[in-house]
Chains A and B, each alone.
Chain A
Amino acid sequence: MDFKLTEEQLEIKSAVREFCLKEFTPELAMECDREEKFPWDLHRKAARLGFVGIHFPEEYGGGGYGVLENVLVVEEMCRVDSTLGTAIMLGDFACDLILRHGTEEQKERWLPKVARGEAVSAGAFTEPARGSDITKMDTTAVKEGDEWVINGTKTLISNATIASFFITLCQTNPEAEPTYRGQSLIIVERETPGVDVTKIGGKLGIRSSPTGEVSFSDVRVPEENLLGELNRGFYHSLYFFDESRIEIAAQAVGIAQGALDRALKYAKEREAFGRKIAEFQAISHKLADMATKVEAARLLTYKAAWVVDHGKLDPMLASMAKTYAGRIAVEVADEAIQIFGGYGYIGEYEVERFYRDAKITEIYEGTREIQKNTIARYLVGR
């Protein structure tokens, strides 16, 4: 065993941290949160420094690192700022599907511009009527000549309003039983006629990451936009989620660590009844609990990432990391507000925003309940 990051990994972490401390100002974060604005500038700068798609191979503009290094980048970004960190982290959402299943041509066409920060990607799985259940899709793709004709609606799609393309899960064989054996992934460019995007505003948290509804009316895409195997889209998606939820776990670890950092700093400075509040056992034991949870969540997340980098994806472990890290992010942010007292409730003290941003990690890319179904399935199967 070896529980230490390498020198190089620590350098990546501190480079990301340095960048974020300089660029992620609280004022900018509050503005992007208030106005629901994507931080294009920061995204491009982060990409130039290699922090977007650090785990893409170098030939596609990435850093050639592994999932663990991507986890470190995400963790540090979200630690410095939960709102801006999340927005940038989601900038390459679903590109792993192209990495894993794309043709050489698809990889060359889509990945470098995302890694360079010139484009943002999106994955369109969720439908209005189905939520976490993607075993059947109302969005259909029908082959006509050498084109696919897509009709349907996707909702709660991250980056919907800014993405250059949507990796869309469609029903390609409506007769298949079970239905999920007739699904395929198709890449749809945003400018294709018939694609219509509506922003969904007023989110509780991660307001700097735009969310929207995407509808497809007789959208025609060339057949070479099929991603991966025909009618294997469901399986490709599941595999993708098993991996991508490690990134959400990292987001949660970062948010929790960021809330803890702020609570610690405040507890050492703030005085009440003639002493620093950190000297009260009720506060110091809260901090101890928070730190223990962060450490445990980090270990689960690093292990899940490490396992993937060693070619042995363990869906149970990835789900454990995501469930636990998501839960403790909410708990730690909650306790951070408690330590700040009344000020914690006010935007300028930041923990309020961390608290709002934390909750999504228990919901998207498979709710906590879906994760537990996965964990239980593997447990019972052993």
Chain B
Amino acid sequence: MGGESPMDFELTEEQLEIKRAVREFCLKEFTDEVMRRYAESEEFPWDLYRKAAQLGFIGIHMPEEYGGQGYGYLENVLVTEEMVRANPELGITLVFGDFGTELILMFGTEEQKRRYIPRITRGEGLSAAAFTEPSGGSDISKRLETVAVKEGDEWVINGSKMFITNANISDFIIVLCQTDLEVEPPYRGQSLFIVDRGTPGVDVDKLTGKLGLKPSQTCSVSFSDVRVPEENLLGELNRGFYHTLQYLNESRLEIAAQGVGLAQGALDMALKYAKERTLFGEPLYRLQAVSHKLADMAIKVEAARLLTYKAAWLADQGETDPMISSMAKVYAARAGFEVVEEAAQIFGGYFFFEDYPIERFYRIAKVIEVYEGTKEVQKDTIARFLLKRPT
């Protein structure tokens, strides 16, 4: 199907304005001192989160009636890109503040939306979503170990989840559970539940010692006879797996945007360094080996950005294309990794010291290829859609 209007590769004035506003905020707030404080304490940067939320940068794509700005996925991608570009540790930590909230937006009842979303968009609370299990990794299609059984008008949850962002400080955790133990294939018997903070039987352990993303909280969560009211079921009973896949198709746009931001940030630094630093009597960038590296890095950033914007634009048209979303995530995450690696090379020995911010980029580069579907899982998705097409 063709479009009604001609192609257009430019952002609107308003979108550019959003980008500039986010960048301005980040350059002012993400100081080295702030950065170091949170990296050392591994605490969540609540003050920055509230400020970002006040400016409308958290949940910018949420409808205004739930405290969002009513923009689309593309604008959320722009916010993410700029935040991560300025500082990946703090940027990713902040944009993950509303992690999983889109599930409520997509599948929640009116009451659930009103109850849970506004506190997030106002920066008063965080959300968390728990899919991964200790033994499961990327595979959520199996029979989940976390089980929810109906007793009267309550669900009783038992099991454990792994690598859950924000779980120790979030308002609630959206948990994917096995609700039908008999069904084949097992993913047809999974459902999502919202578990409020403080519900008895929920035990959260903060995981420390991560390679990077230190201010972002990562936890293991266990559920022992956790009772939640039946109205906390999110979406349809036994459709949790499908809801989750649909959610991940859109949330991975934000991960792609992280890759773009990371790559752009590393390119910015490498470019600046190559102009300032002299070697053999001339600026570093005059060495062809360096200038060609910079050219390669810029190509990757531009290609990653185009794929990511296209995927987000399609989602905004109501035509989410899981293949393009996966392509954007795979490519942008890889580009992030490769560009950071080359930036480190340009910095030479200095890259290895935490006084140089490239070191922080380096610590984070790998995780973008791993979370929200490893690159291998993404390639499975791309291949599945490719092979379905007529040849």
Contact = CB atoms under 8 A, between A and B. Distances in A.
A5 B74 CA distance: 19
Contact of B11 (A1, A4, A68, A379): A1
Interface in B258-311: 271, 274-275, 285, 288, 291-292, 294-296, 298-299, 302-304, 306-307, 309-310
Contact of B299 (A268, A292, A324): A324
A371 B292 CA distance: 9
Nearest to A374: B295
B387 A379 contact: no
A307 B292 contact: no
B3 A5 contact: yes
B386 A295 contact: no
A286 to B, nearest CB: 9
Contacts of A41: none
A6 B1 CA distance: 8
B310 A285 contact: no
Interface in A358-382: 369, 371-373, 375-377, 379-380
B375 to A, nearest CB: 9
B313 interface: yes
Nearest to B381: A288
Contacts of A316: 298
A3 B324 CA distance: 12
B183 to A, nearest CB: 25
A49 interface: no
Contact of A2 (B3, B271, B303, B386): B3
A292 B4 CA distance: 26
Interface in A8-22: 8-11
Contacts of A380: 271, 274-275, 285, 291, 294
A296 B294 CA distance: 19
A376 B291 contact: yes
Given A264-B386, A288-B382, A9 B302 contact: no
B7 A68 contact: yes
Chain B interface residue count: which class?
35 or more
Interface stretch (A97-105, A198-206, A209-217, A298-306): A298-306
Interface string A138-166: 00000000000000000000000000000
Contacts of A6: 2-7
B79 to A, nearest CB: 16
B295 A376 contact: yes
A3 B382 contact: no
A86 B303 CA distance: 25
Given A299-B303, A369-B292, A291 B380 contact: no
Contacts, number: 147
Contact of A295 (B271, B327, B378): B327
B169 interface: no
A96 B291 CA distance: 30
B379 interface: yes
Binding site of A, secondary structure by majority: helix, strand, loop or mixed? helix
Given A6-B6, A295-B307, A307-B9, A287 B386 contact: yes
Nearest to A324: B299
Nearest to A7: B2
B6 A268 contact: no
A296 B331 contact: yes
A284 interface: yes
Nearest to A316: B298
A377 B288 CA distance: 11
Nearest to A291: B386
B150 to A, nearest CB: 39
B391 A291 contact: no
A288 B324 contact: no
A284 B378 CA distance: 11
A276 to B, nearest CB: 9
A320 interface: yes
A306 B307 contact: no
User: Nearest 5 CB-CB pairs, A to B?
Assistant: A4-B3, A7-B2, A376-B291, A284-B383, A375-B295
19 contacts: A1-B9, A1-B309, A4-B1, A4-B7, A6-B6, A6-B7, A268-B387, A284-B387, A285-B380, A287-B386, A291-B382, A295-B324, A323-B299, A324-B303, A371-B295, A375-B298, A376-B285, A376-B294, A377-B291
Interface of B: 1-12, 74, 271, 274-275, 285, 288, 291-292, 294-296, 298-299, 302-304, 306-307, 309-310, 313-314, 323-324, 327, 330-331, 376, 378-380, 382-383, 386-387, 389, 391
Given A5-B7, A284-B379, A372-B295, 10 more contacts: A1-B11, A1-B12, A3-B309, A278-B387, A285-B383, A287-B382, A297-B303, A303-B306, A372-B292, A375-B294
